[in-house]
Structure 1
Amino acid sequence: MHLSHLGIADFRSYPAAEVDLGPGVSVLLGRNGQGKTNLVEAAGYVATLASHRVAQDAPLVRAGADGSAIIRATVHRDGHESLVELEIVPGRANRARLNRSPLTRQRDVLGTLRTVLFAPEDLALVKGDPGERRRFLDDLLVARQPRWAAVRADYDKVVRQRGALLKQAAHLWRAPTRRTGGPRLAPGESLEEGRAAALATLTVFDDQLAQIGAALLYARLRLLRDLRPYLEQAYRTISDSGTHADAAYRSSLAPGSPVAEAVAAGQVPEQAELAAAILESVEAVRTQEQERGVCLVGPHRDDVLLALGDLPAKGYASHGECWSLALSLRLAGFHLLRHDLGTDPVLVLDDVFAELDSGRRERLADLVADCEQVLVTAAVAADVPERLLGDGVRVFEVTLGSITSRSGAGASA
């Protein structure tokens, strides 16, 4: 799988740009702030329908533009060519076309292009909050099987709705104070009737949370089980050490139950068992949820515990070890997708080499040498290993949104 052409209009800093790419290594060189990362961000957006740099779409539209940005990508896989066209319209529904045919749902383009992107922001995979690691798993899950995008969206919707209900109904369970007064009830409704009605509605959302959450949790556990061997191998190669890297899933299930213990041990219980365990865990924290008005159980509260040797990476690993571990997570995802898909996803290395010492740079270059397509960004050519700047490598200079080819490949802005 590879990108042969990438075109953008009113995306980030670019009024318009077109870049011809191809199999092998393509290197985008430019000082910080010149726009090289914007290009690989556009490629990543085609693959994931999200940016790796911002949570919202509004910053992706160029300041002063009419209100939307366009990305066009030509993707080649197994001798077939596909054209993906996306229109990003903040505040409204984005639009998508595949091979010039409009799609009812934008997410139907998922799977046309797969990318694995490593960027400086990925240090948060090791040092950051649990949400970073959950997103890593879920993004890889969708790249592996795009149908999980719908499950992920359904689960997020249930959590929002259930959380809103808990927040609205929290006053029914709290003792009244001088500041808040008594609970707000419907005309003629007693406190007990109000609580019963809220609990009945909450029970409906409990069932949805358990069923959809169990499906997502089951998929995450299987993914992590399959990912771990690739993670260990990638870390040993990048770090050139005998240190063992591992990842374990920490669920929000009530501790002590057989299902929770199985998950902690790296096993993958059946989906029905997970659903029952989620319901049991919800019951265990029912009073806390009602008092606090927040949803305390489910995959949205889970984490992935990363370890080097016998110690957790977070708080114990050195800065260099954290970089190696974050990069190893991405490379593990790449090799898992390669195994599952029978073809390589596009590997994107955004300002990676500047953060690595010379030994790690060379070992990383060795690892990516046989990838079908690698997109590299760097501030200066000296940051890129020599073997990635040899004959046949496409090199582009990026200066204030202007893209020029140093190696004969087509580029214009």
Structure 2
Amino acid sequence: MFISELQITNYRNYVRAGISLDRGLNLFVGDNAQGKSNLLEAIYLLSTLRSSRASSDADLVRRDIIGSEFPVARLECQVDRSAGNLHLEVAIVGRTTDASHRAGKRVRVNGVPRRASDAVGQLCAVLFSTLDIEIVAGPPLLRRRYLDMMISQVDRGYLRAMQRYAKVLQQRNSLLKRVQAREASAGELNFWDQELAHAGGIIMKARADALGSLVPEAAHQMQRLSDGQESLHLTYRPSLGGLDDSSLPIDETEWIARMLKALTVLRGREIGAGATIIGPHRDDVTIEIDGMPADAYASRAQQRIAALSLRLAEASYLRNVLGDDPVVLLDDVLSELDARRRKGVLEFFDNFQQTIVTTAEPDRVREVMTRASGRFIVSAGALTRFEGE
């Protein structure tokens, strides 16, 4: 798939910008703080309906209109897909004093209003960022997010299970606090244990399956980018309170049963803690380079290549599951690589329908400039196509 048209209105530092994008490689050049990352964030939001950076939708609305009567940012794109062409619109409504204007997102797919969850993955994309190194070096939350954003684009059931799990977890934690304070009986947890285990089992099964597909491709990319000098291995660590063994469950039913058993065995500890201490919200993925934990022993350069390998594996995973190419977004990451690795990354994406690259240092990525079919200048939230070198 590829994006042919993109419109951005009142989003971050963009007042109004519209561009036609080419198939193949598109390059956006601009100084820092001009809107390059905002542009790719907007495209990724059209794919996942979540910002890759902001903690609140209100942060996405252009500052100058936040105090207006109806503060709203709009994103719109035309997508050519093997599954049929797509017109996608997302309106992001900021907070307002008018109760009739509810903050949040409004989504239309081919002109028809849809729930945000139903629009996730209609446009499929993978985003490479300079912050990706934190997937390897940072806390478990970022590795869970990596899996969640990837799987949600191709598995509606996973996204629904995630939403259900979050609601049940909140209710169960509230009840655990009441049981701890002797305001409720422990027996009331039975219903919520069943609900949490069902949603949690679906999530864990999907994560284990996705990681099983990622492992060989990520290892291959690490070998390729390191000239065969370094190995990369990923291991899923489901949070089951130490009750998980070396063999992961085979099917969804077994995952659900394993989690329900853990909730039953650990109930006393959870009442004492007043919180749910096991489940997908506590999962992790162990990342090893040459057999050693990458967060503790790898150099920053090794961690960066490992993170890049994970994103390349993600692109392959999305392509294989979807049966179509995701749109590839590279946010100023090529300038961090040496010429050989830049060449390796670009060659990998030669067979993808569309790759969008940003840079503040065009002289360092001269080969990208030469190969790009679409070239654009980003300046103060304005997008201008240019020809020539």
Aligned to 2:118: 108
Aligned to 2:12: 12
Larger Rg: 1
2: CA distance between counterparts of 1:354 and 1:238? Answer: 15
Out of 81, 87, 106, the residue aligned to residue 95 of structure 1 is 106
Question: CA 1:392–1:34 in 2, change beyond 3 Å: closer, same or farther?
Answer: closer
Q: Deviations over 1:317-365 (max 9, x none)?
A: 1111111111111110101121222221001000101222232222212
Out of 281, 287, 302, the residue aligned to residue 321 of structure 1 is 302
Spell out the pairing of 1:7-406 with structure 2 (5 A cutoff).
7-65=7-65, 66=68, 67-78=71-82, 80-90=84-94, 92-103=103-114, 105-172=115-182, 194=183, 197-255=184-242, 257=243, 259-263=244-248, 268-386=249-367, 388-390=368-370, 393-406=373-386
Aligned to 1:190: none
Query: Matched residue of 2:288: which SS?
Result: strand
Query: Matched residue of 1:147: which SS?
Result: helix
Unaligned ranges ≥5, structure 1:
173-193, 409-413
Question: CA 1:403–1:340 in 2, change beyond 3 Å: closer, same or farther?
Answer: same
Runs of 4+ aligned structure 1 residues displaced above 4 Å come to none
Question: CA 1:286–1:211 in 2, change beyond 3 Å: closer, same or farther?
Answer: same
Q: Residue 399 of structure 1 aligns to which amino acid in structure 2?
A: S
2: CA distance between counterparts of 1:162 and 1:90? Answer: 31
Question: CA 1:274–1:147 in 2, change beyond 3 Å: closer, same or farther?
Answer: closer
**How far apart are 1:168 and its partner, in Å?**
3.6
1: CA distance between counterparts of 2:371 and 2:264? Answer: 63
2: CA distance between counterparts of 1:90 and 1:121? Answer: 27
Q: Residue 349 of structure 2 aligns to which amino acid in structure 1?
A: V
Q: Deviations over 1:88-139 (max 9, x none)?
A: 1245242111111222x12222232100101012111001110100111111
Query: Matched residue of 2:180: which SS?
Result: helix
Q: Deviations over 1:8-32 (max 9, x none)?
A: 1110011111111021011111111
- Do the aligned residues in 2 keep the contact of 1:362 with 1:385 (CA within 8 Å)? no
1: CA distance between counterparts of 2:223 and 2:366? Answer: 20
Q: Deviations over 1:228-256 (max 9, x none)?
A: 1111111112222332211001122132x
**How far apart are 1:392 and its partner, in Å?**
5.3
Using the TM superposition, name which of 271-280 and 214-223 deviates more: 271-280
**How far apart are 1:211 and its partner, in Å?**
1.0
Query: Matched residue of 1:231: which SS?
Result: helix
Q: Residue 96 of structure 1 aligns to which amino acid in structure 2?
A: V
Q: Residue 82 of structure 1 aligns to which amino acid in structure 2?
A: L
Query: Matched residue of 2:296: which SS?
Result: coil
TM, length-normalised to structure 2: 0.93
2: CA distance between counterparts of 1:19 and 1:239? Answer: 37
Question: CA 1:287–1:147 in 2, change beyond 3 Å: closer, same or farther?
Answer: closer
- Do the aligned residues in 2 keep the contact of 1:254 with 1:260 (CA within 8 Å)? no
- Do the aligned residues in 2 keep the contact of 1:393 with 1:407 (CA within 8 Å)? no
1: CA distance between counterparts of 2:54 and 2:80? Answer: 28
2: CA distance between counterparts of 1:293 and 1:47? Answer: 37
2: CA distance between counterparts of 1:391 and 1:305? Answer: 37
TM, length-normalised to structure 1: 0.87
Query: Matched residue of 2:370: which SS?
Result: coil
Q: Residue 95 of structure 1 aligns to which amino acid in structure 2?
A: R
Aligned residue-pair number: 377
1: CA distance between counterparts of 2:371 and 2:25? Answer: 10
Query: Matched residue of 1:94: which SS?
Result: strand
Query: Matched residue of 1:50: which SS?
Result: coil
**How far apart are 1:287 and its partner, in Å?**
2.1
**How far apart are 1:171 and its partner, in Å?**
2.2
Aligned to 1:179: none
2: CA distance between counterparts of 1:342 and 1:290? Answer: 46
Aligned to 1:191: none
1: CA distance between counterparts of 2:157 and 2:190? Answer: 27
- Do the aligned residues in 2 keep the contact of 1:253 with 1:260 (CA within 8 Å)? no
Q: Deviations over 1:58-89 (max 9, x none)?
A: 11111022421100011101283211011112
1: CA distance between counterparts of 2:241 and 2:366? Answer: 49
Q: Deviations over 1:139-182 (max 9, x none)?
A: 1111222332111111111111111222343222xxxxxxxxxx
Question: CA 1:307–1:17 in 2, change beyond 3 Å: closer, same or farther?
Answer: same
Query: Matched residue of 1:240: which SS?
Result: coil
Q: Residue 360 of structure 1 aligns to which amino acid in structure 2?
A: R
- Do the aligned residues in 2 keep the contact of 1:53 with 1:121 (CA within 8 Å)? no
Unaligned ranges ≥5, structure 2:
96-102
2: CA distance between counterparts of 1:108 and 1:89? Answer: 19
1: CA distance between counterparts of 2:323 and 2:255? Answer: 31
Q: Residue 157 of structure 1 aligns to which amino acid in structure 2?
A: K
2: CA distance between counterparts of 1:391 and 1:254? Answer: 51
Aligned to 1:177: none
- Do the aligned residues in 2 keep the contact of 1:107 with 1:149 (CA within 8 Å)? yes
Aligned to 2:99: none
Question: CA 1:383–1:158 in 2, change beyond 3 Å: closer, same or farther?
Answer: farther
